[in-house]
Amino acid sequence: MDRSANMRAIRSKGTKPEMFVRRFVHGLGFRYRLHAPDLPGKPDLVFPKLRKVIFVHGCFWHMHKACREGRIPNSRREYWEPKLLGNVERGRKHLASLRKLGWKVLVVWECEIENSERIEKKLINFLASRV
């Protein structure tokens, strides 16, 4: 598969990590909206009554510092560096805007899904807390 076909195959919605989070949260009885276009960054899951949102970030695309996938590739660095750093900066602005609007924000990283027990606790604590 050539590079452009590979890039076209990468989805921004309905990814495996996002679907894991959606199924788990729904199983807990929480109902949510998806990719709300009226909120900064179009959060993946929006809980309007709780004023909480969840973003499910890909480690590569959002440069997760705690993960080996979150680094700039060595090939075509001049292309990837501004693109990935732009994603990170835009994400920071969206999170800050949402918090300023009074929303509580949780970011779930793609690599966190590997430890389902730990991520499930994190999701339960976030959604059950009154703060």
Distance, in Å, from the CA atom of 53 to the CA atom of 76, rounded to the nearest integer, reads 34
pLDDT at 6: 54
Distance, in Å, from the CA atom of 95 to the CA atom of 32, rounded to the nearest integer, reads 18
Distance, in Å, from the CA atom of 94 to the CA atom of 115, rounded to the nearest integer, reads 27
Residue ranges per structural domain of the chain = 13-128
pTM for the whole thing? 0.87
State pLDDT tens for residues 3-59: 555 555 555 667 889 999 999 999 999 999 999 999 999 999 999 999 999 999 999
45-47 and 52-57 beta bridge pairing: antiparallel
Backbone angles phi, psi at 46, to 5 degrees: -125, 130
Distance, in Å, from the CA atom of 82 to the CA atom of 92, rounded to the nearest integer, reads 15
Percentage of residues of the chain with pLDDT beyond 90:
76
pLDDT at 15: 86
CATH of 13-128, one of 3.40.960.10, 3.40.190.10, 3.40.50.1980, 3.40.50.720: 3.40.960.10
